[in-house]
A and B are shown apart, each in its own frame.
Chain A
Amino acid sequence: GENVEQHPSTLSVQEGDSAVIKCTYSDSASNYFPWYKQELGKGPQLIIDIRSNVGEKKDQRIAVTLNKTAKHFSLHITETQPEDSAVYFCAASKGTNSGYALNFGKGTSLLVTP
């Protein structure tokens, strides 16, 4: 089955700096890659996603890039703020119009210090 690896497991940055989280996947048939932010004790929140027919997508301070050949994708957060502190998860699936069964990375705990 699909194997998603995520690095780093912890990341500490100063407010205003950029943060980058990287993931690799094993199944070349995967075509949908969402990213989630999870705060302590809450359910994950979808923050951005990308499909395999697109190389990059941006939404304000958040961007995701996808390299299908290398089978890796990355989350970029610019101008980080303390409220960005959370655990971030990447995921991959062979998403179709029948729905998504996601395979998740193990998460990155991001700490943004003032």
Chain B
Amino acid sequence: DGGITQSPKYLFRKEGQNVTLSCEQNLNHDAMYWYRQDPGQGLRLIYYSQIVNDFQKGDIAEGYSVSREKKESFPLTVTSAQKNPTAFYLCASSLLGASGPFFGPGTRLTVL
């Protein structure tokens, strides 16, 4: 069953704690992305990666970190430096030169 999986669906953390969101794809896509969505807003790009061991900052990278050690995995860490981390986080992937990207189901992070 091919697709993009994000886990967990809901995540609660205390203020000041780092948290890592998982994103896995078995579509053999080259590029992967992390977007953040706030209520009533469009999606904003946090980080993206076109190949393994390489990634670029998006528009709102401050307070976030990523790694791309494997083609199929692109985890996002929300650090304590992120001032307003409560949001809906969406991972996506695309094949170079093809339509996309395609999004996963999202993780809703709430920081208490």
Contacts A43-B104, A44-B90, A44-B103 given; indicate if A101 touches B45 (C-beta within 8 A): yes
Task: Choose the segment among A12-20, A65-73, A103-111 that binds chain B (4+ C-beta atoms closer than 8 Å).
Answer: A103-111
Q: Is A114 an interface residue (CB 8 A)?
A: no
CB-contact partner of A46 in B30, B100, B106, under 8 A:
B100
Contact B42 A89 (CB under 8 A): yes
Interface positions of A from 55 to 102, Cβ below 8 Å from B: 89, 91, 97-102
By a CB distance below 8 angstroms, the chain A residues around B105 are 42-43
Residue A45 CB within 8 A of the other chain = yes
Assuming the contacts A42-B106, A44-B90, asked whether A100 and B59 have C-beta atoms less than 8 A apart, the reply is no
**B2 on the interface (CB 8 Å rule)?**
no
Least Cβ–Cβ distance between A4 and chain B, in angstroms: 8
- Pairwise interchain contact B106-A43, C-beta atoms closer than 8 A: yes
- B residues 14-66 touching A (CB-CB < 8 Å): 30-31, 33, 40-45, 48, 50, 56, 58-59
Q: Mark B68-112, 1 if CB is under 8 A from A, else 0.
A: 000000000000000000000010101011011111111000000
- Contact of B94 (CB < 8 Å), options: A43, A89, A91, A100: A100
